[in-house]
Chain A
Amino acid sequence: MIKVENLKKRFGKLQVLHGVSFDTEDGKCTAIMGPNASGKTTTIKSILGLVVPDEGTITVNGMDVRKGFQYRNLIGYMPQIPTFPENITPRELINLTIKLRSYEKNYSEELIGLFEIEEHLDKPFSALSGGTRQKVNAVLAFMFDVPILILDEPTVGLDPVSSRKLKNLIKERKSRGVDVIITSHIVSEIEQLADDMVFLLEGQVIFEGPVKEAIEQTQGEDLEDAIAKLIQRQQAA
Protein backbone atom coordinates (compact mmCIF):
# COMPACT_ATOMS: atom_id res chain seq x y z
CA MET A 1 0.00 0.00 0.00
CA ILE A 2 1.19 3.43 -0.93
CA LYS A 3 0.52 6.62 1.00
CA VAL A 4 1.15 9.94 -0.68
CA GLU A 5 0.83 13.00 1.53
CA ASN A 6 0.97 16.64 0.55
CA LEU A 7 3.35 16.09 -2.34
CA LYS A 8 4.76 19.27 -3.84
CA LYS A 9 7.17 19.62 -6.70
CA ARG A 10 8.40 22.52 -8.75
CA PHE A 11 10.48 22.30 -11.93
CA GLY A 12 12.10 25.68 -12.32
CA LYS A 13 9.27 28.18 -12.53
CA LEU A 14 6.64 25.57 -13.02
CA GLN A 15 4.84 24.24 -9.94
CA VAL A 16 3.88 20.77 -11.10
CA LEU A 17 2.37 19.33 -7.93
CA HIS A 18 0.47 21.45 -5.44
CA GLY A 19 0.16 19.16 -2.42
CA VAL A 20 -1.00 15.86 -3.83
CA SER A 21 -2.32 13.29 -1.35
CA PHE A 22 -3.87 9.87 -1.90
CA ASP A 23 -3.66 6.26 -0.76
CA THR A 24 -3.71 3.02 -2.67
CA GLU A 25 -4.83 -0.31 -1.25
CA ASP A 26 -3.56 -3.82 -1.55
CA GLY A 27 -5.70 -6.01 -3.77
CA LYS A 28 -7.07 -3.08 -5.63
CA CYS A 29 -6.20 -1.35 -8.87
CA THR A 30 -5.86 2.41 -8.61
CA ALA A 31 -5.88 4.46 -11.81
CA ILE A 32 -4.00 7.73 -11.76
CA MET A 33 -5.68 9.87 -14.34
CA GLY A 34 -5.64 13.36 -15.65
CA PRO A 35 -4.97 15.32 -18.82
CA ASN A 36 -1.48 15.92 -20.15
CA ALA A 37 0.78 17.91 -17.81
CA SER A 38 -1.51 17.28 -14.88
CA GLY A 39 1.29 15.75 -12.82
CA LYS A 40 0.67 12.01 -13.33
CA THR A 41 4.18 11.16 -14.44
CA THR A 42 5.78 13.31 -11.75
CA THR A 43 3.65 11.60 -9.12
CA ILE A 44 4.62 8.13 -10.32
CA LYS A 45 8.27 9.11 -10.60
CA SER A 46 8.14 10.46 -7.07
CA ILE A 47 6.88 7.11 -5.81
CA LEU A 48 9.70 5.36 -7.67
CA GLY A 49 12.27 7.79 -6.31
CA LEU A 50 13.12 9.13 -9.77
CA VAL A 51 11.93 12.58 -8.85
CA VAL A 52 12.84 14.08 -5.51
CA PRO A 53 9.83 15.95 -4.10
CA ASP A 54 10.19 19.43 -2.58
CA GLU A 55 7.71 18.66 0.14
CA GLY A 56 5.52 15.85 1.35
CA THR A 57 6.04 12.22 2.22
CA ILE A 58 5.52 9.00 0.37
CA THR A 59 5.50 5.65 2.11
CA VAL A 60 5.48 2.31 0.36
CA ASN A 61 4.26 -0.45 2.67
CA GLY A 62 5.27 1.76 5.54
CA MET A 63 8.77 2.61 4.19
CA ASP A 64 9.64 6.23 3.50
CA VAL A 65 10.87 6.44 -0.09
CA ARG A 66 13.37 9.16 0.77
CA LYS A 67 15.14 6.91 3.23
CA GLY A 68 16.79 4.16 1.25
CA PHE A 69 16.22 2.34 -1.96
CA GLN A 70 15.25 -1.10 -0.63
CA TYR A 71 11.54 -0.36 -0.91
CA ARG A 72 11.84 -0.46 -4.69
CA ASN A 73 12.37 -4.19 -4.35
CA LEU A 74 8.65 -4.36 -3.65
CA ILE A 75 7.67 -2.60 -6.88
CA GLY A 76 7.32 -3.96 -10.36
CA TYR A 77 7.44 -1.05 -12.81
CA MET A 78 6.45 -0.83 -16.46
CA PRO A 79 7.68 2.49 -17.82
CA GLN A 80 5.88 4.07 -20.72
CA ILE A 81 7.36 3.23 -24.16
CA PRO A 82 10.68 2.12 -22.79
CA THR A 83 13.90 2.70 -24.74
CA PHE A 84 16.16 -0.16 -23.89
CA PRO A 85 19.87 -0.07 -24.76
CA GLU A 86 20.11 -1.15 -28.37
CA ASN A 87 23.25 -3.24 -28.03
CA ILE A 88 22.01 -5.68 -25.44
CA THR A 89 19.42 -8.45 -25.66
CA PRO A 90 16.18 -9.05 -23.73
CA ARG A 91 17.73 -12.09 -22.08
CA GLU A 92 20.62 -10.00 -20.77
CA LEU A 93 18.28 -7.35 -19.50
CA ILE A 94 16.09 -9.94 -17.77
CA ASN A 95 19.17 -11.48 -16.18
CA LEU A 96 20.40 -8.06 -15.08
CA THR A 97 17.05 -7.31 -13.46
CA ILE A 98 17.06 -10.66 -11.70
CA LYS A 99 20.50 -9.88 -10.32
CA LEU A 100 19.50 -6.42 -9.18
CA ARG A 101 16.48 -7.83 -7.36
CA SER A 102 16.61 -9.99 -4.31
CA TYR A 103 13.95 -12.53 -5.26
CA GLU A 104 14.98 -16.15 -5.20
CA LYS A 105 12.21 -17.08 -7.59
CA ASN A 106 11.08 -15.45 -10.79
CA TYR A 107 8.47 -16.17 -13.41
CA SER A 108 10.35 -14.98 -16.45
CA GLU A 109 10.09 -18.35 -18.22
CA GLU A 110 6.33 -18.50 -17.91
CA LEU A 111 5.92 -14.88 -19.00
CA ILE A 112 8.22 -15.32 -21.96
CA GLY A 113 6.05 -18.26 -22.95
CA LEU A 114 2.88 -16.31 -22.38
CA PHE A 115 3.95 -13.44 -24.60
CA GLU A 116 5.66 -15.74 -27.10
CA ILE A 117 8.96 -13.90 -27.28
CA GLU A 118 11.45 -16.79 -26.96
CA GLU A 119 12.74 -16.29 -30.51
CA HIS A 120 13.55 -12.64 -29.78
CA LEU A 121 15.40 -13.18 -26.53
CA ASP A 122 18.89 -13.16 -28.02
CA LYS A 123 18.44 -10.38 -30.54
CA PRO A 124 19.65 -6.91 -29.63
CA PHE A 125 16.89 -4.45 -28.78
CA SER A 126 17.74 -2.44 -31.88
CA ALA A 127 16.33 -5.35 -33.93
CA LEU A 128 13.04 -5.59 -32.01
CA SER A 129 9.68 -4.03 -32.84
CA GLY A 130 7.91 -1.69 -30.46
CA GLY A 131 5.40 -4.38 -29.56
CA THR A 132 8.08 -6.89 -28.66
CA ARG A 133 9.87 -4.31 -26.52
CA GLN A 134 6.66 -3.64 -24.68
CA LYS A 135 6.26 -7.36 -24.04
CA VAL A 136 9.78 -7.48 -22.61
CA ASN A 137 8.81 -4.49 -20.50
CA ALA A 138 5.85 -6.46 -19.16
CA VAL A 139 8.01 -9.49 -18.39
CA LEU A 140 10.44 -7.29 -16.45
CA ALA A 141 7.64 -5.84 -14.32
CA PHE A 142 5.71 -9.02 -13.70
CA MET A 143 8.43 -11.60 -13.30
CA PHE A 144 8.73 -11.22 -9.54
CA ASP A 145 6.16 -11.86 -6.89
CA VAL A 146 6.02 -8.16 -5.99
CA PRO A 147 3.32 -6.67 -3.73
CA ILE A 148 3.10 -3.48 -5.80
CA LEU A 149 2.88 -2.92 -9.57
CA ILE A 150 3.17 0.47 -11.22
CA LEU A 151 2.12 0.37 -14.88
CA ASP A 152 2.48 3.44 -17.06
CA GLU A 153 0.34 3.04 -20.18
CA PRO A 154 0.95 -0.72 -20.15
CA THR A 155 -0.97 -1.72 -23.28
CA VAL A 156 0.43 0.91 -25.63
CA GLY A 157 1.94 -0.75 -28.66
CA LEU A 158 0.58 -4.19 -27.83
CA ASP A 159 -1.54 -6.19 -30.23
CA PRO A 160 -5.06 -7.02 -29.00
CA VAL A 161 -4.15 -10.57 -28.04
CA SER A 162 -1.16 -9.56 -25.95
CA SER A 163 -3.09 -6.66 -24.54
CA ARG A 164 -5.72 -9.06 -23.34
CA LYS A 165 -3.14 -11.38 -21.86
CA LEU A 166 -1.61 -8.48 -19.99
CA LYS A 167 -4.96 -7.34 -18.61
CA ASN A 168 -5.67 -10.86 -17.40
CA LEU A 169 -2.32 -10.87 -15.75
CA ILE A 170 -3.12 -7.62 -13.97
CA LYS A 171 -6.46 -8.99 -12.77
CA GLU A 172 -4.84 -12.18 -11.58
CA ARG A 173 -2.23 -10.29 -9.55
CA LYS A 174 -4.84 -8.01 -8.09
CA SER A 175 -6.84 -11.00 -6.99
CA ARG A 176 -3.75 -12.21 -5.18
CA GLY A 177 -3.67 -8.99 -3.17
CA VAL A 178 -1.23 -6.94 -5.22
CA ASP A 179 -1.54 -3.16 -5.08
CA VAL A 180 -1.74 -2.10 -8.75
CA ILE A 181 -1.29 1.50 -9.90
CA ILE A 182 -2.02 2.22 -13.51
CA THR A 183 -2.12 5.17 -15.86
CA SER A 184 -3.80 4.99 -19.20
CA HIS A 185 -5.40 7.15 -21.83
CA ILE A 186 -7.75 4.36 -22.77
CA VAL A 187 -10.82 4.94 -20.62
CA SER A 188 -12.32 1.57 -21.40
CA GLU A 189 -9.20 -0.07 -20.10
CA ILE A 190 -9.54 1.78 -16.82
CA GLU A 191 -13.16 0.74 -16.58
CA GLN A 192 -12.13 -2.85 -17.06
CA LEU A 193 -9.27 -2.84 -14.61
CA ALA A 194 -9.48 -0.08 -12.01
CA ASP A 195 -11.32 -0.13 -8.74
CA ASP A 196 -10.24 3.29 -7.54
CA MET A 197 -9.28 6.44 -9.28
CA VAL A 198 -7.10 9.42 -8.43
CA PHE A 199 -7.83 12.28 -10.78
CA LEU A 200 -5.22 14.98 -11.13
CA LEU A 201 -5.71 18.37 -12.67
CA GLU A 202 -2.97 20.97 -12.75
CA GLY A 203 -1.11 19.29 -9.94
CA GLN A 204 -4.04 18.83 -7.63
CA VAL A 205 -6.17 15.82 -6.76
CA ILE A 206 -9.71 16.71 -7.76
CA PHE A 207 -11.13 13.27 -7.18
CA GLU A 208 -10.07 10.31 -5.12
CA GLY A 209 -12.28 7.27 -4.61
CA PRO A 210 -13.90 4.30 -6.32
CA VAL A 211 -14.44 4.62 -10.07
CA LYS A 212 -18.15 3.94 -9.56
CA GLU A 213 -18.42 6.78 -7.12
CA ALA A 214 -16.97 9.15 -9.70
CA ILE A 215 -19.70 8.24 -12.13
CA GLU A 216 -22.38 8.51 -9.47
CA GLN A 217 -21.08 11.76 -8.04
CA THR A 218 -21.01 13.48 -11.41
CA GLN A 219 -24.08 11.71 -12.70
CA GLY A 220 -22.09 10.75 -15.76
CA GLU A 221 -23.23 8.22 -18.27
CA ASP A 222 -19.96 6.41 -18.09
CA LEU A 223 -16.42 7.01 -16.90
CA GLU A 224 -15.50 9.13 -19.92
CA ASP A 225 -18.47 11.40 -19.29
CA ALA A 226 -17.68 11.50 -15.59
CA ILE A 227 -14.12 12.63 -16.32
CA ALA A 228 -15.35 15.37 -18.61
CA LYS A 229 -17.69 16.59 -15.92
CA LEU A 230 -15.00 16.47 -13.26
CA ILE A 231 -12.84 18.75 -15.36
CA GLN A 232 -15.72 21.13 -16.11
CA ARG A 233 -16.67 21.30 -12.45
CA GLN A 234 -13.14 22.14 -11.45
CA GLN A 235 -12.76 24.79 -14.12
CA ALA A 236 -16.02 26.39 -13.07
CA ALA A 237 -14.92 26.54 -9.45
Chain B
Amino acid sequence: MLINILIAGTVVVCPDCDVRGLKQAVAIAQPYDTILVKEGHYTEDSIIVDKPGLVIMGEGEAVIDANHKWEAILVIADSVTIKGLTVMNVPVSYIHDHAGIKFDGVSGCVVENNTLINNFFAIYLAHSENCLVKDNYIKSNATREMAAGNGIHAWYCHDLYITGNTVIQHRDGIYFEFVDNSFIEGNYSTKNLRYGLHFMFSDRDVYSHNTFVNNGAGTAVMYSRLISLYNNIFEKNWGGASYGILLKEIYDCKIYNNIFRENTVGLYMENCNRTPIEHNDFIGNGWALRVMANSQENMVSQNNFIDNMFEVATNSRRSFNKFNKNYWSKYNGYDLDRDGIGDIPYRPVSLTSYLIENYEAISLMLESYFLKLLDLLEKIAPSINPVGLIDREPLMEKVKHD
Protein backbone atom coordinates (compact mmCIF):
# COMPACT_ATOMS: atom_id res chain seq x y z
CA MET B 1 0.00 0.00 0.00
CA LEU B 2 2.84 2.38 0.89
CA ILE B 3 4.40 1.75 -2.48
CA ASN B 4 1.08 2.39 -4.12
CA ILE B 5 0.82 5.81 -2.49
CA LEU B 6 4.34 6.76 -3.41
CA ILE B 7 3.86 6.03 -7.02
CA ALA B 8 0.35 7.47 -7.18
CA GLY B 9 -0.34 9.66 -10.19
CA THR B 10 -2.65 12.58 -10.79
CA VAL B 11 -5.52 12.75 -13.25
CA VAL B 12 -6.59 16.27 -14.15
CA VAL B 13 -10.14 17.00 -15.12
CA CYS B 14 -11.12 20.26 -16.76
CA PRO B 15 -13.71 21.37 -19.33
CA ASP B 16 -11.05 21.70 -22.06
CA CYS B 17 -8.85 18.78 -21.07
CA ASP B 18 -8.77 15.34 -22.53
CA VAL B 19 -10.51 14.19 -19.38
CA ARG B 20 -13.67 16.21 -19.34
CA GLY B 21 -15.55 14.46 -16.61
CA LEU B 22 -15.18 12.75 -13.28
CA LYS B 23 -16.60 9.50 -14.56
CA GLN B 24 -13.98 9.36 -17.26
CA ALA B 25 -11.28 10.26 -14.73
CA VAL B 26 -12.27 7.48 -12.36
CA ALA B 27 -12.18 5.04 -15.23
CA ILE B 28 -8.60 5.83 -16.16
CA ALA B 29 -7.29 6.44 -12.65
CA GLN B 30 -5.31 3.84 -10.73
CA PRO B 31 -6.13 3.14 -7.10
CA TYR B 32 -4.61 5.81 -4.78
CA ASP B 33 -4.36 8.31 -7.64
CA THR B 34 -5.42 11.89 -7.14
CA ILE B 35 -8.10 13.25 -9.43
CA LEU B 36 -7.84 17.00 -9.66
CA VAL B 37 -11.12 18.52 -10.80
CA LYS B 38 -10.41 21.99 -12.16
CA GLU B 39 -12.87 24.79 -12.02
CA GLY B 40 -15.80 24.11 -14.33
CA HIS B 41 -19.38 22.95 -14.59
CA TYR B 42 -19.57 19.19 -15.14
CA THR B 43 -23.03 17.87 -15.90
CA GLU B 44 -22.68 14.27 -14.80
CA ASP B 45 -24.52 11.73 -12.69
CA SER B 46 -24.13 8.13 -11.57
CA ILE B 47 -20.39 8.48 -11.01
CA ILE B 48 -19.31 5.26 -9.36
CA VAL B 49 -16.02 5.45 -7.53
CA ASP B 50 -14.88 1.87 -7.25
CA LYS B 51 -11.11 2.21 -6.85
CA PRO B 52 -9.70 2.37 -3.34
CA GLY B 53 -7.67 5.30 -2.11
CA LEU B 54 -8.71 7.76 -4.78
CA VAL B 55 -8.42 11.38 -3.73
CA ILE B 56 -10.88 13.52 -5.64
CA MET B 57 -10.06 17.18 -5.20
CA GLY B 58 -11.99 20.11 -6.53
CA GLU B 59 -10.08 23.22 -7.45
CA GLY B 60 -11.93 26.51 -7.54
CA GLU B 61 -15.57 26.14 -8.48
CA ALA B 62 -15.59 22.53 -9.53
CA VAL B 63 -19.27 21.76 -9.91
CA ILE B 64 -20.73 18.31 -10.45
CA ASP B 65 -24.28 18.90 -11.64
CA ALA B 66 -26.51 15.82 -11.63
CA ASN B 67 -29.07 17.85 -13.51
CA HIS B 68 -32.01 16.19 -11.74
CA LYS B 69 -31.26 12.85 -13.39
CA TRP B 70 -29.83 10.45 -10.85
CA GLU B 71 -27.55 10.48 -7.88
CA ALA B 72 -24.17 12.14 -8.36
CA ILE B 73 -21.33 10.18 -6.74
CA LEU B 74 -21.47 6.68 -5.28
CA VAL B 75 -18.34 5.45 -3.53
CA ILE B 76 -18.02 1.72 -3.05
CA ALA B 77 -14.28 1.49 -2.50
CA ASP B 78 -12.37 2.04 0.73
CA SER B 79 -10.29 5.06 1.73
CA VAL B 80 -11.66 7.44 -0.84
CA THR B 81 -11.33 11.17 -0.17
CA ILE B 82 -13.60 13.76 -1.70
CA LYS B 83 -12.61 17.37 -1.11
CA GLY B 84 -13.59 20.79 -2.38
CA LEU B 85 -16.29 19.72 -4.83
CA THR B 86 -19.65 21.31 -5.36
CA VAL B 87 -22.34 18.73 -5.98
CA MET B 88 -25.81 19.81 -6.97
CA ASN B 89 -29.24 18.96 -8.29
CA VAL B 90 -29.65 15.36 -7.24
CA PRO B 91 -33.35 14.64 -7.80
CA VAL B 92 -36.02 13.61 -5.34
CA SER B 93 -37.02 9.98 -5.61
CA TYR B 94 -39.60 8.07 -3.64
CA ILE B 95 -37.99 4.71 -4.43
CA HIS B 96 -34.25 5.29 -4.32
CA ASP B 97 -32.32 7.32 -1.78
CA HIS B 98 -30.46 9.50 -4.26
CA ALA B 99 -27.56 11.34 -2.69
CA GLY B 100 -24.99 13.92 -3.67
CA ILE B 101 -22.15 11.83 -2.29
CA LYS B 102 -22.96 8.33 -1.12
CA PHE B 103 -20.65 5.82 0.55
CA ASP B 104 -21.84 2.26 0.66
CA GLY B 105 -19.97 -0.45 2.51
CA VAL B 106 -16.67 1.35 2.75
CA SER B 107 -14.05 2.02 5.32
CA GLY B 108 -11.93 5.10 5.89
CA CYS B 109 -13.61 7.69 3.75
CA VAL B 110 -13.08 11.43 3.97
CA VAL B 111 -15.60 14.04 2.77
CA GLU B 112 -14.28 17.46 3.41
CA ASN B 113 -14.95 21.04 2.40
CA ASN B 114 -17.56 20.18 -0.17
CA THR B 115 -20.59 22.22 -1.02
CA LEU B 116 -23.82 20.32 -1.59
CA ILE B 117 -26.68 22.33 -3.03
CA ASN B 118 -30.25 21.27 -3.76
CA ASN B 119 -29.73 17.57 -3.40
CA PHE B 120 -32.31 15.07 -2.22
CA PHE B 121 -29.90 13.45 0.24
CA ALA B 122 -26.58 15.24 0.47
CA ILE B 123 -23.98 13.03 2.19
CA TYR B 124 -25.07 9.46 2.69
CA LEU B 125 -23.16 6.77 4.55
CA ALA B 126 -24.40 3.20 4.65
CA HIS B 127 -22.64 0.19 6.20
CA SER B 128 -19.46 2.20 6.50
CA GLU B 129 -16.84 2.81 9.14
CA ASN B 130 -14.03 5.11 10.10
CA CYS B 131 -15.22 8.03 8.04
CA LEU B 132 -14.59 11.74 8.44
CA VAL B 133 -17.29 14.18 7.32
CA LYS B 134 -15.83 17.60 7.85
CA ASP B 135 -16.57 21.24 7.09
CA ASN B 136 -19.11 20.63 4.37
CA TYR B 137 -21.75 23.19 3.50
CA ILE B 138 -25.04 21.49 2.78
CA LYS B 139 -28.18 23.28 1.72
CA SER B 140 -31.39 22.21 0.08
CA ASN B 141 -34.41 24.18 -1.00
CA ALA B 142 -36.92 21.58 0.14
CA THR B 143 -40.27 22.78 1.42
CA ARG B 144 -42.19 19.54 1.92
CA GLU B 145 -41.06 16.96 4.39
CA MET B 146 -42.21 14.09 2.17
CA ALA B 147 -40.13 15.32 -0.77
CA ALA B 148 -36.98 15.98 1.19
CA GLY B 149 -33.98 13.87 2.18
CA ASN B 150 -31.46 14.25 4.95
CA GLY B 151 -28.36 16.42 4.98
CA ILE B 152 -25.95 13.93 6.51
CA HIS B 153 -27.47 10.48 6.62
CA ALA B 154 -25.78 7.53 8.26
CA TRP B 155 -27.08 4.07 8.95
CA TYR B 156 -25.38 0.87 10.02
CA CYS B 157 -22.08 2.65 10.48
CA HIS B 158 -19.59 2.98 13.24
CA ASP B 159 -16.66 5.16 14.12
CA LEU B 160 -17.79 8.19 12.18
CA TYR B 161 -16.51 11.66 12.84
CA ILE B 162 -18.96 14.31 11.75
CA THR B 163 -17.57 17.76 12.41
CA GLY B 164 -17.86 21.38 11.39
CA ASN B 165 -20.62 20.87 8.87
CA THR B 166 -23.45 23.25 8.16
CA VAL B 167 -26.77 21.74 7.16
CA ILE B 168 -29.69 23.88 6.04
CA GLN B 169 -33.22 23.05 5.00
CA HIS B 170 -33.07 19.31 4.52
CA ARG B 171 -35.59 16.95 6.07
CA ASP B 172 -33.32 15.98 8.96
CA GLY B 173 -30.06 17.85 9.26
CA ILE B 174 -28.06 14.92 10.60
CA TYR B 175 -29.59 11.45 10.66
CA PHE B 176 -28.12 8.54 12.61
CA GLU B 177 -29.64 5.09 12.64
CA PHE B 178 -27.62 2.16 13.99
CA VAL B 179 -24.45 4.22 14.21
CA ASP B 180 -22.18 3.43 17.12
CA ASN B 181 -19.01 4.87 18.60
CA SER B 182 -19.20 8.08 16.64
CA PHE B 183 -18.71 11.77 17.19
CA ILE B 184 -20.92 14.61 16.07
CA GLU B 185 -19.06 17.76 16.87
CA GLY B 186 -19.25 21.46 16.06
CA ASN B 187 -21.94 21.19 13.42
CA TYR B 188 -24.52 23.81 12.68
CA SER B 189 -27.96 22.59 11.72
CA THR B 190 -30.80 24.95 10.95
CA LYS B 191 -34.14 25.35 9.17
CA ASN B 192 -34.43 21.65 8.57
CA LEU B 193 -38.01 20.63 7.98
CA ARG B 194 -38.12 17.95 10.61
CA TYR B 195 -35.23 17.45 13.01
CA GLY B 196 -31.91 19.21 13.21
CA LEU B 197 -30.57 15.91 14.49
CA HIS B 198 -32.42 12.63 14.27
CA PHE B 199 -30.71 9.92 16.19
CA MET B 200 -31.92 6.36 16.73
CA PHE B 201 -30.62 2.95 17.80
CA SER B 202 -27.12 4.34 18.09
CA ASP B 203 -24.99 3.68 21.13
CA ARG B 204 -21.83 5.06 22.69
CA ASP B 205 -21.85 8.23 20.63
CA VAL B 206 -20.77 11.71 21.62
CA TYR B 207 -22.20 14.90 20.37
CA SER B 208 -20.85 18.18 21.48
CA HIS B 209 -20.46 21.81 20.49
CA ASN B 210 -23.21 21.61 17.92
CA THR B 211 -25.82 24.27 17.36
CA PHE B 212 -29.37 23.36 16.42
CA VAL B 213 -31.41 26.42 15.59
CA ASN B 214 -34.93 26.78 14.30
CA ASN B 215 -35.55 23.28 13.04
CA GLY B 216 -39.12 22.13 12.48
CA ALA B 217 -39.22 19.74 15.39
CA GLY B 218 -35.89 20.40 17.08
CA THR B 219 -33.78 17.29 17.70
CA ALA B 220 -34.66 13.75 18.64
CA VAL B 221 -32.49 11.16 20.33
CA MET B 222 -34.21 7.80 20.66
CA TYR B 223 -33.65 4.15 21.52
CA SER B 224 -30.01 4.66 22.42
CA ARG B 225 -27.59 4.19 25.30
CA LEU B 226 -24.41 5.65 26.58
CA ILE B 227 -24.63 8.88 24.67
CA SER B 228 -22.75 11.96 25.83
CA LEU B 229 -24.30 15.22 24.99
CA TYR B 230 -22.48 18.37 25.96
CA ASN B 231 -21.81 21.99 25.06
CA ASN B 232 -24.54 22.03 22.45
CA ILE B 233 -26.93 24.86 21.80
CA PHE B 234 -30.59 24.11 21.13
CA GLU B 235 -32.33 27.27 20.16
CA LYS B 236 -35.60 28.57 18.75
CA ASN B 237 -37.01 25.19 17.90
CA TRP B 238 -40.55 26.48 18.16
CA GLY B 239 -43.74 24.81 17.02
CA GLY B 240 -46.58 22.59 18.14
CA ALA B 241 -44.32 19.54 18.43
CA SER B 242 -40.86 21.05 18.71
CA TYR B 243 -38.24 20.12 21.23
CA GLY B 244 -34.77 21.29 22.05
CA ILE B 245 -34.22 17.57 22.43
CA LEU B 246 -36.77 14.82 22.49
CA LEU B 247 -35.36 11.91 24.43
CA LYS B 248 -37.14 8.59 24.10
CA GLU B 249 -36.05 5.19 25.39
CA ILE B 250 -32.69 6.42 26.55
CA TYR B 251 -30.44 4.74 29.08
CA ASP B 252 -27.27 5.84 30.80
CA CYS B 253 -26.53 9.00 28.90
CA LYS B 254 -24.98 12.25 30.09
CA ILE B 255 -26.38 15.62 29.28
CA TYR B 256 -24.33 18.56 30.45
CA ASN B 257 -23.28 22.12 29.69
CA ASN B 258 -25.89 22.56 27.00
CA ILE B 259 -27.96 25.65 26.39
CA PHE B 260 -31.67 25.29 25.71
CA ARG B 261 -33.02 28.63 24.66
CA GLU B 262 -36.51 29.59 23.44
CA ASN B 263 -37.75 26.17 22.47
CA THR B 264 -41.37 25.13 22.86
CA VAL B 265 -40.02 22.34 25.05
CA GLY B 266 -36.37 22.49 26.07
CA LEU B 267 -35.86 18.88 27.03
CA TYR B 268 -38.55 16.25 26.67
CA MET B 269 -37.97 12.95 28.41
CA GLU B 270 -40.02 9.88 27.70
CA ASN B 271 -38.70 6.68 29.19
CA CYS B 272 -35.33 8.32 29.71
CA ASN B 273 -33.39 6.64 32.47
CA ARG B 274 -30.26 6.85 34.60
CA THR B 275 -29.15 10.02 32.87
CA PRO B 276 -27.56 12.89 34.74
CA ILE B 277 -28.68 16.30 33.48
CA GLU B 278 -26.26 18.83 34.85
CA HIS B 279 -24.93 22.32 34.28
CA ASN B 280 -27.33 23.12 31.50
CA ASP B 281 -29.00 26.47 30.95
CA PHE B 282 -32.72 26.49 30.21
CA ILE B 283 -33.67 29.98 29.13
CA GLY B 284 -36.98 31.33 27.87
CA ASN B 285 -38.52 28.03 26.85
CA GLY B 286 -42.27 27.29 26.88
CA TRP B 287 -41.48 24.29 29.05
CA ALA B 288 -37.88 23.86 30.19
CA LEU B 289 -38.30 20.19 31.05
CA ARG B 290 -41.11 17.78 30.38
CA VAL B 291 -40.58 14.56 32.24
CA MET B 292 -42.96 11.69 31.62
CA ALA B 293 -43.64 9.33 34.49
CA ASN B 294 -41.78 6.47 32.79
CA SER B 295 -38.50 8.37 33.07
CA GLN B 296 -36.66 7.25 36.15
CA GLU B 297 -33.51 7.68 38.14
CA ASN B 298 -32.35 10.74 36.31
CA MET B 299 -30.43 13.35 38.24
CA VAL B 300 -31.24 16.97 37.50
CA SER B 301 -28.72 19.17 39.22
CA GLN B 302 -26.75 22.41 38.89
CA ASN B 303 -28.86 23.66 36.02
CA ASN B 304 -30.10 27.20 35.53
CA PHE B 305 -33.80 27.58 34.82
CA ILE B 306 -34.34 31.15 33.72
CA ASP B 307 -37.54 32.81 32.52
CA ASN B 308 -39.26 29.69 31.27
CA MET B 309 -43.02 29.83 31.02
CA PHE B 310 -43.19 26.46 32.76
CA GLU B 311 -40.09 25.10 34.44
CA VAL B 312 -40.96 21.44 34.77
CA ALA B 313 -44.02 19.54 33.61
CA THR B 314 -44.85 16.01 34.52
CA ASN B 315 -47.86 13.77 34.22
CA SER B 316 -47.19 12.02 37.49
CA ARG B 317 -47.78 13.12 41.02
CA ARG B 318 -44.85 11.05 42.18
CA SER B 319 -41.34 11.86 41.20
CA PHE B 320 -38.96 9.13 40.15
CA ASN B 321 -36.10 11.48 39.46
CA LYS B 322 -33.87 13.53 41.63
CA PHE B 323 -33.93 17.32 41.41
CA ASN B 324 -31.31 19.00 43.51
CA LYS B 325 -29.34 22.23 43.66
CA ASN B 326 -30.70 23.91 40.58
CA TYR B 327 -31.22 27.60 40.11
CA TRP B 328 -34.87 28.48 39.42
CA SER B 329 -35.59 32.06 38.44
CA LYS B 330 -39.16 31.72 39.70
CA TYR B 331 -38.00 30.71 43.15
CA ASN B 332 -38.66 33.42 45.69
CA GLY B 333 -37.54 31.82 48.89
CA TYR B 334 -34.91 33.22 51.20
CA ASP B 335 -31.54 32.18 52.51
CA LEU B 336 -31.13 33.17 56.13
CA ASP B 337 -27.97 31.20 56.79
CA ARG B 338 -26.31 32.62 53.67
CA ASP B 339 -25.06 29.29 52.40
CA GLY B 340 -26.35 29.99 48.89
CA ILE B 341 -29.10 27.43 49.24
CA GLY B 342 -32.68 28.56 49.68
CA ASP B 343 -34.18 27.64 53.04
CA ILE B 344 -37.53 26.63 51.55
CA PRO B 345 -37.70 23.70 49.13
CA TYR B 346 -38.93 24.54 45.65
CA ARG B 347 -41.63 22.81 43.60
CA PRO B 348 -40.82 23.51 39.98
CA VAL B 349 -43.99 21.81 38.71
CA SER B 350 -46.63 24.49 39.16
CA LEU B 351 -50.22 23.49 39.66
CA THR B 352 -51.17 24.89 36.28
CA SER B 353 -48.31 23.04 34.62
CA TYR B 354 -49.55 19.84 36.23
CA LEU B 355 -53.13 20.49 35.10
CA ILE B 356 -52.10 21.21 31.52
CA GLU B 357 -49.93 18.11 31.38
CA ASN B 358 -52.79 15.92 32.56
CA TYR B 359 -55.75 17.67 30.99
CA GLU B 360 -54.42 18.84 27.71
CA ALA B 361 -57.42 21.06 26.85
CA ILE B 362 -56.63 23.27 29.85
CA SER B 363 -53.80 24.68 27.75
CA LEU B 364 -56.56 26.74 26.12
CA MET B 365 -56.70 28.67 29.39
CA LEU B 366 -53.10 29.87 29.06
CA GLU B 367 -52.73 33.55 29.92
CA SER B 368 -56.20 33.62 31.44
CA TYR B 369 -56.72 35.27 34.79
CA PHE B 370 -58.14 32.06 36.15
CA LEU B 371 -54.79 30.30 35.75
CA LYS B 372 -53.03 33.37 37.11
CA LEU B 373 -55.30 33.16 40.10
CA LEU B 374 -54.37 29.48 40.58
CA ASP B 375 -50.69 30.41 40.45
CA LEU B 376 -51.30 33.08 43.04
CA LEU B 377 -53.21 30.67 45.28
CA GLU B 378 -50.36 28.22 44.96
CA LYS B 379 -47.88 30.86 46.06
CA ILE B 380 -49.98 31.54 49.13
CA ALA B 381 -50.72 27.90 49.86
CA PRO B 382 -48.06 25.70 48.23
CA SER B 383 -49.75 22.60 49.62
CA ILE B 384 -52.41 22.70 46.91
CA ASN B 385 -49.71 21.51 44.52
CA PRO B 386 -50.28 17.78 44.15
CA VAL B 387 -46.90 16.95 42.63
CA GLY B 388 -44.15 15.35 44.67
CA LEU B 389 -41.32 16.63 42.50
CA ILE B 390 -39.24 18.90 44.65
CA ASP B 391 -35.84 20.58 44.73
CA ARG B 392 -34.89 20.57 48.40
CA GLU B 393 -31.82 22.69 47.90
CA PRO B 394 -32.68 25.35 45.35
CA LEU B 395 -29.80 27.71 44.65
CA MET B 396 -30.05 31.42 45.33
CA GLU B 397 -27.64 32.43 42.56
CA LYS B 398 -27.21 31.25 39.01
CA VAL B 399 -24.78 28.40 38.56
CA LYS B 400 -21.56 29.47 36.86
CA HIS B 401 -20.66 26.55 34.65
CA ASP B 402 -17.03 25.73 33.95
Chain A in direct contact with chain B (Cβ < 8 angstroms): no
List the interface of chain A (C-beta within 8 A of B). none
